[in-house]
């Protein structure tokens, strides 16, 4: 990335879906192109200051700082992590930064922070991310001291969901703590976003190295000796849950050595206040989180625990919005790869948080098992309430065909957003012009096959004719490229 010896182009990570076991198949026709939000998370070759204006400082760290920033064209507020190159002093810190961006690019979950793009100049690297108004969960804990069991369960459900999603992708976070969990809003809303993947790794990747990563209060006993499986994240979840309910960590001490000794011993005190007044269900869940690794439950099992399920409210507060979303899903048609790509770009890069907040709540309600994606069964359950079982089955089959554009058998969060959003708002003239500028990478006023390829090809190789075919579908004047008018015509067709 130009940070001293850092390569500007990020190394391509192994495919998460194949876990690096096989080469990706060559794309031989248009239908094999998979459009994902990660296609649009890339280095912006403009100057950061030309695209964003800086706001206030949110925090500082060892290699830089986090500030608010505002997109100059749309005025959307975001956060920017600014890394000073002179402070990235070793190869490990550079590699961790590359890895963090590559991991974040692949993640698509409502409780994990979204990354938008990154910039680089001679002195700094700028990583643009979602802005969360509510600040760190750590600060909220200090303010409240303790949370009710209902509120604690609301937070833990979201955290377990995000962790289950990561573990399904073979990713271990390794540094779960309240400082790495943000609240979306200031108004007491407890919707969270998981951040900071700087020490995250792929399952199995760190066992051979024997490295120690994490924070003393939250690190698991086995991680203290450099042994990592995904279960280390569940220990950290247990520590967070204990703190939410009691206001103090389960393993405390005057020094880090004192804390580590208590973590190693693993004895949890439920005799002190307020534990006598906390439910046995809560203590039972903690007993299978703060325990030896071999006995520790998974995030998926934690989501099904009675303490969690009995305290999660799945009542739809805005039934009018739910009905609109269900209607939009039924009526969504991608119709072409270009149109699907534009929908994906606008849904993930152009919409303000207030445009998607209600949709996120509906997504989480439909997602019955909390795995961060909608299965066919999730959708059938929802549509059966309004259509009956037989018609619901038929409608959901159509929805899966149109909305599940990566064909993984689920409606992922971005797929849900692009289909559920109000099309009038999504396909506004302003959004279409913004999208056109992104696809027209050289600013020539038209989109070439080569430019489409750069954005949508991903890591799988492809034939030139695939991209020429997309162009020819749209190219009305036969010049081999797509101008703004042709671009708008194809996107708005059948709207």
Classified as helix, coil or strand, 415 is helix
193 pLDDT tier (thresholds 50, 70, 90)? very high
pLDDT of residue 227: 83
pLDDT of residue 80: 97
Which of 94, 99, 126, 129 is closest to 115 using CA atoms?
A: 129
pLDDT of residue 69: 97
The alpha helices in 107-183, defined as continuous H runs, are 137-144, 149-168
Mean pLDDT of 204-223: 72
What percentage of the chain has pLDDT greater than the value 90? 59
Q: Do domains 135-309 and 429-492 have the same CATH topology?
A: no
For residue 347, the 8-state DSSP code is I
Residue position matching structure tokens 């059966």: 384
Classified as helix, coil or strand, 468 is helix
- Strands 201-202 and 171-172, sheet pairing: antiparallel
Which of 389, 146, 397 is closest to 278 using CA atoms?
A: 146
pLDDT of residue 107: 96
- 468, pLDDT greater than 60: yes
Is 81 assigned to a binding site? yes
pLDDT of residue 495: 53
441 pLDDT tier (thresholds 50, 70, 90)? confident
pLDDT tens digits, one per residue of 63-120: 789 999 999 988 899 999 999 988 887 787 788 888 889 999 999 999 999 999 999 9
Q: Is the peptide bond before 274 cis (omega within 30 degrees of 0)?
A: yes
Just give the CATH number of 319-426: 1.10.238.10
Helix axes 449-456 and 429-439, enclosed angle (nearest 10): 90
Q: CA-to-CA distance for 193 and 180, rounded, in angstroms? A: 8
The alpha helices in 288-412, defined as continuous H runs, are 299-303, 306-309, 319-331, 337-345, 353-366, 376-387, 389-403
Any idea which fold 30-129 has? Phosphorylase Kinase; domain 1 (3.30.200)
pLDDT of residue 21: 40
Residues 6+ apart with CB under 8 A from 49: none
Q: Is 476:490 a contact under the CB 8 Å cutoff?
A: no
Q: Is 220:259 a contact under the CB 8 Å cutoff?
A: no
- 228, pLDDT greater than 90: no
For the CA atoms of 353, 359, 364, 368, the dihedral, rounded to the nearest 10 degrees, stands at: -160
Q: CA-to-CA distance for 183 and 403, rounded, in angstroms? A: 29
Which CATH class, in words, describes the domain spanning 135-309? mainly alpha
Q: Is 111:372 a contact under the CB 8 Å cutoff?
A: yes
For the chain, the domains span 30-129, 135-309, 319-426, 429-492
- 11, pLDDT greater than 50: no
pLDDT of residue 205: 59
Six-digit token pair at 10? 């990020």
Q: Is 149:279 a contact under the CB 8 Å cutoff?
A: yes
Residue with the larger pLDDT of the pair 161 and 430: 161
3-state secondary structure 257-308: HHHHHHHHHCCCCCCCCCHHHCCHHHHHHHHCCCCCHHHCCCHHHHHCCHHH
Residues 6+ apart with CB under 8 A from 97: 1, 3, 6, 83, 88, 125, 198
* Phi, psi dihedrals of residue 115, rounded to the nearest 5°: -100, 140
We find that the CATH architecture of domain 429-492 is Orthogonal Bundle (1.10)
Q: CA-to-CA distance for 68 and 77, rounded, in angstroms? A: 7
Classified as helix, coil or strand, 211 is coil
Which of 241, 405, 454, 431 is closest to 346 using CA atoms?
A: 431
Mean pLDDT of 456-469: 72
pLDDT tens digits, one per residue of 137-186: 999 999 999 999 999 999 999 999 999 999 999 999 999 999 999 999 88
pLDDT tens digits, one per residue of 126-148: 999 999 999 999 999 999 999 99
Residues 6+ apart with CB under 8 A from 253: 259, 261, 262
> What are the CA-CA distances from residue 332 to residues 129, 140, 396 (Å)?
28, 40, 12
Q: CA-to-CA distance for 164 and 443, rounded, in angstroms? A: 42
Number of H helices, E strands in the chain: 20, 12
pLDDT of residue 85: 87
pLDDT tens digits, one per residue of 267-300: 999 999 999 999 999 999 999 999 999 999 999 9
426 pLDDT tier (thresholds 50, 70, 90)? confident
Residue with the larger pLDDT of the pair 189 and 277: 277
Mean pLDDT of 317-327: 92
Catalytic residue set: 175
């Amino acid at each position: 990335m130009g940070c001293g010896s850092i390569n500007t182009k990020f190394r391509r990570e192994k495919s998460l879906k194949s876990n690096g076991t096989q080469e990706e198949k060559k794309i031989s026709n248009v239908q094999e192109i998979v459009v994902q939000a990660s296609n649009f998370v890339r280095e912006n070759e403009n100057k950061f200051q030309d695209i964003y204006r800086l706001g206030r400082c949110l925090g500082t760290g060892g290699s830089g700082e986090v500030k608010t920033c505002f997109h100059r064209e749309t005025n959307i507020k975001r956060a920017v992590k600014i890394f000073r190159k002179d402070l990235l002093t070793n190869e490990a810190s550079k590699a961790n930064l590359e890895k963090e961006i590559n991991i974040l690019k692949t993640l698509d979950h409502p409780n994990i922070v979204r990354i938008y793009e990154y910039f680089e100049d001679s002195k700094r690297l700028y990583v643009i991310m979602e802005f969360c108004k509510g600040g760190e969960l750590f600060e909220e804990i200090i303010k409240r001291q303790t949370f009710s069991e209902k509120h604690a369960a609301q937070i833990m459900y979201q955290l377990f969901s995000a962790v289950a999603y990561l573990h399904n992708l073979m990713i271990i976070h390794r540094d779960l703590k309240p400082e790495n969990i943000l609240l979306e809003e200031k108004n007491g809303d407890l919707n969270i976003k998981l951040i900071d993947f700087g020490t995250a790794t792929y399952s199995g990747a760190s066992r051979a190295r024997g490295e120690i990563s994490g924070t003393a209060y939250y690190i698991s006993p086995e991680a203290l000796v450099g042994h990592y499986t995904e279960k280390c994240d569940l220990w950290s979840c247990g520590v967070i849950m204990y703190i939410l309910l009691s206001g103090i960590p389960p393993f405390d001490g005057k020094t880090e050595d004192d804390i580590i000794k208590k973590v190693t011993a693993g004895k949890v005190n439920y005799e002190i206040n307020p534990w006598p007044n906390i439910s046995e269900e809560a203590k039972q869940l903690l007993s299978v989180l703060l325990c030896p690794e071999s006995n520790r439950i998974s995030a998926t099992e934690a989501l099904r625990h009675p303490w969690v399920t009995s305290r999660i409210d799945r009542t739809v507060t805005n039934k009018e919005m739910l009905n609109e979303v269900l209607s939009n899903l039924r009526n969504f048609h991608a119709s072409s790869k270009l149109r699907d790509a534009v929908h994906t770009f606008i849904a993930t890069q152009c919409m303000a948080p207030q445009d998607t907040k209600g949709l996120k709540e509906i997504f989480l309600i439909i997602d019955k098992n909390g795995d961060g994606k909608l299965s066919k069964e999730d959708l059938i359950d929802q549509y059966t309430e309004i259509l009956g079982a037989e018609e619901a089955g038929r409608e959901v089959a159509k929805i899966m065909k149109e909305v599940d554009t990566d064909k993984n058998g689920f409606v992922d969060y971005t797929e849900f957003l692009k289909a559920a959003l109000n099309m009038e708002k999504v396909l506004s003239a302003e959004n279409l012009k913004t999208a056109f500028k992104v696809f027209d990478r050289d600013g020539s006023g038209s989109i070439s096959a080569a430019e489409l390829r750069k954005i949508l090809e991903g890591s799988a190789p492809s034939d030139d004719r695939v991209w020429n075919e997309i162009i020819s579908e749209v190219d009305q004047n036969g010049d081999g490229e797509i101008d703004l008018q042709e671009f708008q015509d194809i996107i708005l067709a059948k709207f």
